[in-house]
Structure 1
Amino acid sequence: MTLSIDPSPSSFVAVSSPIPLTRSSQVAHADRDIAGGRLVRVRRGIVAPASLWAALAPWQRYAARVHAAAMTHPGIVFSHESAAAILGLPTFGEPLEVHALDTPGTTSRLSGGIRLHTTRGDRAVVDVGGLLVTSPLDTAVDIARSRNGAVGLAVSDAALRGDPLLSVEALVAHNEYRISSRGRRVARWVLHRASALAETPLESVSRAAIEWLGFEEPRLQVEFVTAGMVDRCDMWWETARVIGEADGDVKYDGTLQAPVTAIRKEKDRDRRLGHHSSGIAHWGWADVARLTPLRGALRHAGLRPVNPEASRDLFALSALLGGRGRQGRETATPPRD
């Protein structure tokens, strides 16, 4: 590998493997334990406890597979979703392949479950916790060029949140100046809309869905003051005086607080925000996946479309999130907020 490594420190911290990984050569009876269901083969030569593996979410299994590839291929340079998994950027579902860069000038190919991508040497490589990955900027551009626009937007938004030195202008310029033009036009839609103000993957994906449904682009993270209390909403349509709230499942699953407490706080907050708005729309992952509930929530709050719906983009997004259409392993589950 002749790619150069950027010596400047990264603002990102490497995401560790979610479960312990062990080389099968270090286990006395690895094949027997795999056959007996005590171990699972993460990739050839790497095993993990089957009970821990079964408890992982899809994106966590993918992160474990990426770390397993790092163990079997020292010096590998991860890219695309694999770089995103190490950098802590959103990963949707459990991608089928680990992605890495090959020596400049070679041909892209699949080898041992690793998708090797050709490069012209115009990507920056950073060392994050001893692992080599494409920079957050390059990772965002790679995904914007090659994946669904909603996924690209979620990754780009997260990259901007994670690196205060990264800007929309830098993302746009890097896409234009890349030697290869493949995916350049597709990425423009994503990169021109990227914003660090979108605080979660659900907000980012919702922004894409809302535009494709024909609604006006909202302002993000607007604050309202009521009787000395400050409430910040996810989205605000000033002309229609409509507030939008993208509520991730973690808000109600008891992880942060009791569900009853979360619901009570939301009602109190909605009453305060009601002094400033004519309607408030709430939605979650399932509503975005099915689209009809999201459309209905926005209309019920008083928002009206200003453009025709982008049917092809909406169908692709719904299939991606498992709402309808064909659903593959790669896109079966959205990232958790």
Structure 2
Amino acid sequence: MPPLKIFADVRQCPVPLISRTAEPHIDRAVRSGHLVRVMRGVYAPQTLWRELKPWDRYLTRVHAAARCYPDAVFVRESAATLRGLPVFGEPPHVHAVALDSSATHAVGEVRLHAAERPPRFENLGGMLVATGLEIAVDAARLRHPAVARAVADAALRADPRLTTGHMRALSETHPSSRGRRRARDVFDRASAVPESPLESVSATVIEALGFALPDMQLWVRGPEPGDDDRVDFAWSWKGRLIGGEADGDIKYSGTLGDARAALRERHVRDARLMRRGVHTVHHWAWADVSEPSQLRAILLSAGVQIVRQPNLPLLGSLGGALRGLP
């Protein structure tokens, strides 16, 4: 998953797209390996396509679908990737609503859904895209709770006017009682407080493992005004404050700068937090969250208490939901 950034306009296609009508010798270019088919009638340079991350391949496929279906409203993960909301891996299908259709049908990898209730959408740069509210409600009804929480949290961060009350109200208009129940559980927990999809997913997994619920984004005050730090997760236990940090893999990969310098800064910050009263600071990454037994071991070693039975169905389905993560 890329570093999350919410866009006022749609995210641009990561690679140039070439339509069959614009290239008279396109079949020859495909046979020679210069172009790769993205969608029927839409192609991209093979060298650029091969270098794309899974989520950027998906964004490219959605842009290709927009060329084929310019009047469709993109929804679900397809709208999420256009708006910069979380998308995990590379979803298999592009989802859109055909406003003039009364029946859902598939055309290749594109799912054109019937417009039983036209979704709320906006015209963003010529593309019709479901609102963050619609995206969050669909995720809460249809996706794994950890993924749905990440999408809802990100939608709340992106639009300060949006509330979980708005999400609940829209969800209750859907006919599926099972979907409404699933969505209520998500909206009971959704919040703009988590600062990343990893924090949102971590919060879901921590609860599912049975641990005591943490405070999130807790301020640890410094000796001078403005000299404060925040910890992603914090537990108070027997007079001790336990800190937890959900660190995205990219932070220490060197992609954003010197990885060794980032690690040194982390050690310095951890030491500063402990001087200010945090007993221990423990870190985890996507690999630890997608394999819950690893996060469980980290938190137990930190001294976090298990206070309820684990939610085994949620934990057992987590790996499939997070497939494609870095």
Same-fold call, TM cutoff 0.5? yes
Aligned 8 A contact 2:72 2:99 in 1: no
How far is 1:181 from its partner?
A: 3.9
Kindly provide the CA deviation profile for residues 245-292 of structure 1, in whole angstroms up to 9, marking residues without a partner as x.
000011111232311111111111111111322222210001111112
Instruction: Report the equivalent of 2:184.
Output: 188
Q: Does 1:176 align with 2:172?
A: yes
Instruction: Report the equivalent of 1:260.
Output: 260
Q: Does 1:316 align with 2:312?
A: no
Of 38, 42, 50, 1:54 maps to 50
Count of residues in Structure 1 that have an aligned counterpart in Structure 2: 316
Of 225, 228, 236, 2:234 maps to 236
1:3-42 to structure 2, matched below 5 A, reads 12-42=8-38
Q: Does 1:137 align with 2:133?
A: yes
Instruction: Report the equivalent of 2:270.
Output: 270
Aligned 8 A contact 1:107 1:117 in 2: yes
Looking at structure 2, the residues matched to 227 and 125 of structure 1 have their Cα atoms a distance apart, in angstroms, of: 48
Kindly provide the CA deviation profile for residues 68-122 of structure 1, in whole angstroms up to 9, marking residues without a partner as x.
0101111110010001011110111111111011337723222232112234325
Q: Does 1:117 align with 2:113?
A: yes
Kindly provide the CA deviation profile for residues 155-204 of structure 1, in whole angstroms up to 9, marking residues without a partner as x.
11110111111112211222123455451111111122111111111111
Return 5+ residue gaps in structure 1 as ranges.
1-9, 322-331
Instruction: Report the equivalent of 1:325.
Output: none
More moved, 61-70 vs 191-200: 191-200
Looking at structure 1, the residues matched to 245 and 292 of structure 2 have their Cα atoms a distance apart, in angstroms, of: 15
Instruction: Report the equivalent of 2:3.
Output: none
The percentage of aligned residue pairs carrying the same residue is 43
Aligned 8 A contact 1:281 1:300 in 2: no
How far is 1:238 from its partner?
A: 3.1
How far is 1:134 from its partner?
A: 1.4
Kindly provide the CA deviation profile for residues 10-57 of structure 1, in whole angstroms up to 9, marking residues without a partner as x.
983211111111102212321111121111100011010000001100
Aligned 8 A contact 1:226 1:272 in 2: no
Return 5+ residue gaps in structure 2 as ranges.
1-5
C-alpha RMSD of the superposition: 1.8
Instruction: Report the equivalent of 1:327.
Output: none
How far is 1:243 from its partner?
A: 1.1
Q: Normalising by structure 1, report the TM-score.
A: 0.89
Looking at structure 2, the residues matched to 318 and 74 of structure 1 have their Cα atoms a distance apart, in angstroms, of: 35
Relative distance call for 1:104 and 1:44 in structure 2 (3 A) is: closer
Q: Does 1:65 align with 2:65?
A: no
Aligned to 1:199, the other structure's residue is in SS state: coil
Q: Does 1:99 align with 2:90?
A: no
